[in-house]
Amino acid sequence: MTTIPMAPADPDIRVRRPATRGADRRRAARRTPLWLLLPTAAVLLPLFAYPIYQLGLLSVLDFRQAQVSGGQPTRFVGLDNYRALVGDGTFWSVLVATVGFAAACVVATLAVGAALAVLLTRVSRWPRAALSLAAMAAWAAPAITGSTVWMFLFDANLGLVNQVLGLDGHNWMYDRYSAFALVGAVVVWHSFPFVMVTLYAGIRAIPDSTLEAAALDGAGTWQTFWRIVVPMLRPLLAIVVIQSIIWDFKIFTQIYVMTGGGGIAGQNLTLNVYAYQQAFAASEYGLGSAIGVVMMLILLGVTLVYLRALRREGEAL
Protein backbone atom coordinates (compact mmCIF):
# COMPACT_ATOMS: atom_id res chain seq x y z
CA MET A 1 0.00 0.00 0.00
CA THR A 2 1.41 3.30 -1.06
CA THR A 3 1.29 6.14 1.41
CA ILE A 4 1.06 9.64 0.15
CA PRO A 5 3.48 11.86 2.04
CA MET A 6 1.81 14.74 3.74
CA ALA A 7 3.17 18.19 3.16
CA PRO A 8 4.75 19.55 6.32
CA ALA A 9 2.61 22.07 8.09
CA ASP A 10 3.73 25.61 7.79
CA PRO A 11 5.27 26.48 11.17
CA ASP A 12 4.35 30.11 10.69
CA ILE A 13 0.68 29.18 10.55
CA ARG A 14 0.87 27.13 13.74
CA VAL A 15 2.54 30.00 15.57
CA ARG A 16 0.48 32.79 14.07
CA ARG A 17 -3.00 31.46 14.84
CA PRO A 18 -2.68 31.28 18.66
CA ALA A 19 -0.94 34.64 18.69
CA THR A 20 -3.74 36.16 16.64
CA ARG A 21 -6.40 34.70 18.91
CA GLY A 22 -4.54 36.00 21.97
CA ALA A 23 -4.30 39.49 20.49
CA ASP A 24 -8.02 39.44 19.69
CA ARG A 25 -8.82 38.47 23.26
CA ARG A 26 -6.65 41.26 24.63
CA ARG A 27 -8.30 43.80 22.34
CA ALA A 28 -11.74 42.58 23.37
CA ALA A 29 -10.77 42.73 27.05
CA ARG A 30 -9.62 46.32 26.60
CA ARG A 31 -12.88 47.26 24.88
CA THR A 32 -15.10 45.71 27.55
CA PRO A 33 -14.64 48.47 30.17
CA LEU A 34 -15.34 51.09 27.51
CA TRP A 35 -18.64 49.41 26.59
CA LEU A 36 -19.57 49.18 30.26
CA LEU A 37 -18.83 52.89 30.76
CA LEU A 38 -20.77 53.94 27.67
CA PRO A 39 -24.22 54.21 29.35
CA THR A 40 -22.78 56.32 32.16
CA ALA A 41 -20.92 58.53 29.68
CA ALA A 42 -24.09 58.97 27.63
CA VAL A 43 -25.81 60.42 30.70
CA LEU A 44 -22.96 62.40 32.29
CA LEU A 45 -21.38 63.95 29.20
CA PRO A 46 -24.42 66.07 28.23
CA LEU A 47 -24.88 67.10 31.87
CA PHE A 48 -21.29 68.36 32.05
CA ALA A 49 -20.62 69.37 28.46
CA TYR A 50 -23.46 71.88 28.08
CA PRO A 51 -22.75 73.86 31.30
CA ILE A 52 -19.02 73.92 30.50
CA TYR A 53 -19.82 75.15 26.98
CA GLN A 54 -22.06 77.91 28.35
CA LEU A 55 -19.42 78.88 30.92
CA GLY A 56 -16.74 79.12 28.26
CA LEU A 57 -19.05 81.05 25.94
CA LEU A 58 -19.95 83.64 28.57
CA SER A 59 -16.29 84.10 29.46
CA VAL A 60 -15.53 85.50 25.97
CA LEU A 61 -18.56 87.81 25.86
CA ASP A 62 -19.34 91.24 27.25
CA PHE A 63 -22.38 90.04 29.17
CA ARG A 64 -23.78 92.35 31.85
CA GLN A 65 -27.17 93.33 33.21
CA ALA A 66 -27.89 95.38 30.09
CA GLN A 67 -27.41 92.30 27.92
CA VAL A 68 -29.48 90.14 30.27
CA SER A 69 -32.43 92.56 30.08
CA GLY A 70 -32.06 92.88 26.31
CA GLY A 71 -31.23 96.60 26.39
CA GLN A 72 -27.91 96.11 24.58
CA PRO A 73 -26.66 93.44 22.20
CA THR A 74 -24.19 90.87 23.38
CA ARG A 75 -20.65 91.66 22.19
CA PHE A 76 -17.81 89.20 21.61
CA VAL A 77 -14.67 90.41 23.44
CA GLY A 78 -12.38 87.39 23.04
CA LEU A 79 -9.84 87.12 25.86
CA ASP A 80 -10.51 90.57 27.33
CA ASN A 81 -12.09 89.11 30.47
CA TYR A 82 -9.03 86.92 31.04
CA ARG A 83 -6.72 89.89 30.46
CA ALA A 84 -8.72 91.82 33.06
CA LEU A 85 -8.15 88.98 35.54
CA VAL A 86 -4.41 88.91 34.85
CA GLY A 87 -4.20 92.61 35.63
CA ASP A 88 -6.43 92.40 38.70
CA GLY A 89 -4.39 92.37 41.91
CA THR A 90 -7.42 91.25 43.93
CA PHE A 91 -7.77 88.15 41.77
CA TRP A 92 -4.17 87.08 42.43
CA SER A 93 -4.41 87.66 46.18
CA VAL A 94 -7.68 85.71 46.30
CA LEU A 95 -6.12 82.90 44.24
CA VAL A 96 -3.20 82.60 46.67
CA ALA A 97 -5.57 82.63 49.66
CA THR A 98 -7.77 79.97 48.03
CA VAL A 99 -4.85 77.66 47.30
CA GLY A 100 -3.48 77.99 50.84
CA PHE A 101 -6.90 77.52 52.44
CA ALA A 102 -7.73 74.50 50.27
CA ALA A 103 -4.33 72.88 50.91
CA ALA A 104 -4.70 73.26 54.69
CA CYS A 105 -8.22 71.81 54.56
CA VAL A 106 -7.13 68.83 52.43
CA VAL A 107 -4.24 67.97 54.76
CA ALA A 108 -6.39 68.32 57.88
CA THR A 109 -9.24 66.29 56.35
CA LEU A 110 -6.90 63.45 55.36
CA ALA A 111 -5.20 63.45 58.76
CA VAL A 112 -8.47 63.37 60.72
CA GLY A 113 -10.14 60.87 58.40
CA ALA A 114 -7.17 58.49 58.33
CA ALA A 115 -6.69 58.65 62.11
CA LEU A 116 -10.35 57.86 62.75
CA ALA A 117 -10.31 55.08 60.14
CA VAL A 118 -7.45 53.41 62.00
CA LEU A 119 -9.28 54.00 65.28
CA LEU A 120 -12.36 52.23 63.92
CA THR A 121 -10.28 49.11 63.35
CA ARG A 122 -9.06 49.14 66.97
CA VAL A 123 -12.24 49.78 68.99
CA SER A 124 -15.02 47.34 69.82
CA ARG A 125 -18.36 47.08 68.15
CA TRP A 126 -20.46 49.67 70.04
CA PRO A 127 -17.89 52.50 70.09
CA ARG A 128 -17.33 51.86 66.38
CA ALA A 129 -21.06 52.12 65.71
CA ALA A 130 -21.36 55.33 67.77
CA LEU A 131 -18.40 56.96 66.01
CA SER A 132 -19.69 55.94 62.59
CA LEU A 133 -23.16 57.29 63.38
CA ALA A 134 -21.74 60.62 64.57
CA ALA A 135 -19.59 60.91 61.45
CA MET A 136 -22.52 60.14 59.18
CA ALA A 137 -24.59 62.81 60.94
CA ALA A 138 -21.86 65.39 60.24
CA TRP A 139 -21.64 64.26 56.63
CA ALA A 140 -25.41 64.35 56.10
CA ALA A 141 -25.85 67.84 57.59
CA PRO A 142 -26.35 70.50 54.89
CA ALA A 143 -23.45 72.91 54.60
CA ILE A 144 -25.58 75.95 55.44
CA THR A 145 -27.02 74.21 58.51
CA GLY A 146 -23.62 73.18 59.84
CA SER A 147 -22.20 76.66 59.19
CA THR A 148 -25.07 78.30 61.06
CA VAL A 149 -24.67 75.99 64.06
CA TRP A 150 -20.92 76.64 64.26
CA MET A 151 -21.54 80.40 64.01
CA PHE A 152 -23.92 80.17 66.96
CA LEU A 153 -21.35 78.17 68.98
CA PHE A 154 -18.70 80.84 68.32
CA ASP A 155 -21.00 83.84 68.65
CA ALA A 156 -19.27 86.83 70.27
CA ASN A 157 -21.94 87.37 72.93
CA LEU A 158 -24.00 84.19 73.27
CA GLY A 159 -21.60 81.53 71.98
CA LEU A 160 -20.89 78.50 74.15
CA VAL A 161 -17.18 78.53 73.22
CA ASN A 162 -16.66 82.09 74.46
CA GLN A 163 -18.50 81.33 77.68
CA VAL A 164 -16.40 78.24 78.37
CA LEU A 165 -13.12 80.00 77.52
CA GLY A 166 -14.09 83.21 79.31
CA LEU A 167 -13.69 85.32 76.16
CA ASP A 168 -16.65 87.63 76.59
CA GLY A 169 -17.35 89.56 73.40
CA HIS A 170 -14.49 88.02 71.40
CA ASN A 171 -15.31 88.07 67.66
CA TRP A 172 -13.68 85.11 65.95
CA MET A 173 -14.50 86.52 62.51
CA TYR A 174 -12.71 89.82 63.04
CA ASP A 175 -9.22 88.46 62.42
CA ARG A 176 -8.51 87.04 58.99
CA TYR A 177 -6.63 83.94 60.13
CA SER A 178 -8.99 82.99 62.96
CA ALA A 179 -11.91 83.34 60.53
CA PHE A 180 -10.19 81.09 57.99
CA ALA A 181 -9.35 78.62 60.77
CA LEU A 182 -12.96 78.48 61.95
CA VAL A 183 -14.31 78.04 58.44
CA GLY A 184 -11.65 75.39 57.81
CA ALA A 185 -12.77 73.51 60.91
CA VAL A 186 -16.31 73.44 59.54
CA VAL A 187 -15.05 72.22 56.16
CA VAL A 188 -13.05 69.43 57.79
CA TRP A 189 -16.04 68.52 59.98
CA HIS A 190 -18.16 68.11 56.84
CA SER A 191 -15.49 66.28 54.81
CA PHE A 192 -13.67 63.83 57.11
CA PRO A 193 -16.48 61.19 57.18
CA PHE A 194 -15.97 60.45 53.48
CA VAL A 195 -12.23 59.91 54.02
CA MET A 196 -12.84 57.89 57.19
CA VAL A 197 -15.38 55.51 55.66
CA THR A 198 -13.38 55.03 52.44
CA LEU A 199 -10.09 54.29 54.17
CA TYR A 200 -11.74 52.11 56.81
CA ALA A 201 -13.24 49.96 54.05
CA GLY A 202 -9.82 49.74 52.41
CA ILE A 203 -8.09 48.76 55.66
CA ARG A 204 -10.66 46.06 56.35
CA ALA A 205 -10.06 44.66 52.86
CA ILE A 206 -6.34 44.09 53.55
CA PRO A 207 -5.79 40.35 54.21
CA ASP A 208 -5.04 39.50 57.83
CA SER A 209 -2.25 37.23 56.67
CA THR A 210 -0.36 40.23 55.27
CA LEU A 211 -0.54 42.10 58.57
CA GLU A 212 0.38 38.96 60.52
CA ALA A 213 3.41 38.39 58.30
CA ALA A 214 4.53 41.99 58.93
CA ALA A 215 4.16 41.46 62.68
CA LEU A 216 6.16 38.21 62.53
CA ASP A 217 8.93 40.09 60.69
CA GLY A 218 9.15 42.49 63.62
CA ALA A 219 7.37 45.48 62.08
CA GLY A 220 5.84 47.86 64.59
CA THR A 221 2.50 49.63 64.31
CA TRP A 222 3.88 52.66 62.47
CA GLN A 223 6.07 50.57 60.20
CA THR A 224 3.13 48.35 59.31
CA PHE A 225 0.96 51.39 58.62
CA TRP A 226 3.46 53.23 56.40
CA ARG A 227 5.06 50.25 54.65
CA ILE A 228 2.07 47.91 54.29
CA VAL A 229 -1.24 49.70 54.75
CA VAL A 230 -0.51 52.98 52.95
CA PRO A 231 0.92 51.38 49.74
CA MET A 232 -2.05 49.02 49.54
CA LEU A 233 -4.44 51.95 50.01
CA ARG A 234 -2.82 54.05 47.28
CA PRO A 235 -5.78 53.78 44.82
CA LEU A 236 -8.24 54.81 47.55
CA LEU A 237 -5.92 57.60 48.67
CA ALA A 238 -5.88 58.90 45.11
CA ILE A 239 -9.67 59.06 45.13
CA VAL A 240 -10.01 60.82 48.48
CA VAL A 241 -7.18 63.28 47.74
CA ILE A 242 -8.63 64.31 44.37
CA GLN A 243 -12.15 64.58 45.81
CA SER A 244 -10.90 66.64 48.74
CA ILE A 245 -8.96 68.99 46.47
CA ILE A 246 -12.00 69.56 44.28
CA TRP A 247 -14.37 70.07 47.21
CA ASP A 248 -12.10 72.33 49.24
CA PHE A 249 -10.88 74.44 46.33
CA LYS A 250 -14.41 75.39 45.35
CA ILE A 251 -15.76 76.05 48.84
CA PHE A 252 -18.55 78.60 48.75
CA THR A 253 -21.32 78.06 51.29
CA GLN A 254 -19.21 77.99 54.45
CA ILE A 255 -17.19 81.07 53.48
CA TYR A 256 -20.19 83.03 52.29
CA VAL A 257 -22.40 82.24 55.29
CA MET A 258 -19.83 82.44 58.09
CA THR A 259 -17.91 85.51 56.90
CA GLY A 260 -20.86 87.42 55.51
CA GLY A 261 -19.79 87.17 51.88
CA GLY A 262 -16.01 87.26 52.22
CA GLY A 263 -15.17 88.87 55.55
CA ILE A 264 -14.26 92.42 56.49
CA ALA A 265 -13.03 94.28 53.37
CA GLY A 266 -12.91 90.95 51.53
CA GLN A 267 -10.15 89.52 53.73
CA ASN A 268 -11.63 86.01 53.59
CA LEU A 269 -12.53 85.85 49.91
CA THR A 270 -12.05 82.65 47.95
CA LEU A 271 -12.28 82.26 44.19
CA ASN A 272 -15.82 80.89 44.24
CA VAL A 273 -17.09 83.77 46.38
CA TYR A 274 -15.13 86.28 44.30
CA ALA A 275 -16.66 84.87 41.10
CA TYR A 276 -20.11 85.17 42.68
CA GLN A 277 -19.46 88.80 43.61
CA GLN A 278 -18.27 89.68 40.14
CA ALA A 279 -21.08 87.86 38.36
CA PHE A 280 -24.11 88.67 40.52
CA ALA A 281 -23.17 91.60 42.76
CA ALA A 282 -21.32 93.59 40.07
CA SER A 283 -23.32 92.08 37.15
CA GLU A 284 -20.06 91.21 35.35
CA TYR A 285 -21.27 87.82 34.17
CA GLY A 286 -18.49 87.44 31.61
CA LEU A 287 -15.80 88.17 34.18
CA GLY A 288 -17.38 85.80 36.70
CA SER A 289 -17.51 83.09 34.04
CA ALA A 290 -13.82 83.65 33.26
CA ILE A 291 -13.00 83.05 36.94
CA GLY A 292 -15.03 79.84 36.76
CA VAL A 293 -13.08 78.66 33.71
CA VAL A 294 -9.77 79.41 35.46
CA MET A 295 -10.90 77.39 38.49
CA MET A 296 -11.91 74.47 36.29
CA LEU A 297 -8.55 74.47 34.48
CA ILE A 298 -6.63 74.62 37.76
CA LEU A 299 -8.54 71.66 39.20
CA LEU A 300 -8.15 69.70 35.97
CA GLY A 301 -4.41 70.36 35.94
CA VAL A 302 -3.97 69.36 39.60
CA THR A 303 -5.94 66.16 39.03
CA LEU A 304 -3.93 65.17 35.94
CA VAL A 305 -0.60 65.89 37.63
CA TYR A 306 -1.57 63.84 40.69
CA LEU A 307 -2.80 60.90 38.62
CA ARG A 308 0.37 60.97 36.53
CA ALA A 309 2.52 60.96 39.65
CA LEU A 310 0.60 57.98 41.02
CA ARG A 311 1.02 56.13 37.74
CA ARG A 312 4.77 56.71 37.79
CA GLU A 313 4.96 55.44 41.37
CA GLY A 314 3.07 52.31 40.37
CA GLU A 315 5.42 51.69 37.43
CA ALA A 316 8.43 52.22 39.68
CA LEU A 317 7.13 49.65 42.11
Q: Please answer whether residues 263 and 179 qualify as being in contact, where contact means their C-beta atoms are separated by less than 8 angstroms.
A: yes
First to last CA, the chain: 65
* Cα angle: 165, vertex 133, 252; to 5 degrees: 65
Q: Please answer whether residues 293 and 56 qualify as being in contact, where contact means their C-beta atoms are separated by less than 8 angstroms.
A: yes
> How many CB atoms are located within 10 Å of the residue 58 CB?
21
The pTM (predicted TM-score) of the whole model is: 0.81
Q: Domains in the chain, start-ordered, CATH in brackets?
A: 75-316 (1.10.3720.10)
pLDDT digits (tens, 9 = 90+) for 47-69: 888 889 999 999 999 888 888 77
What pLDDT score does 18 carry? 54
Mean pLDDT (whole number) for 9-21: 52
Specify the amino acid at residue 296.
M
What pLDDT score does 100 carry? 94
The residues, ordered by sequence, that sit 6+ positions from 90 with a Cβ below 8 Å of its Cβ are: 266, 269, 274
* Cα angle: 251, vertex 254, 257; to 5 degrees: 130
B/e letters for 306-317, b = 16+ CB within 10 Å, e = fewer, are eeeebeeeeeee
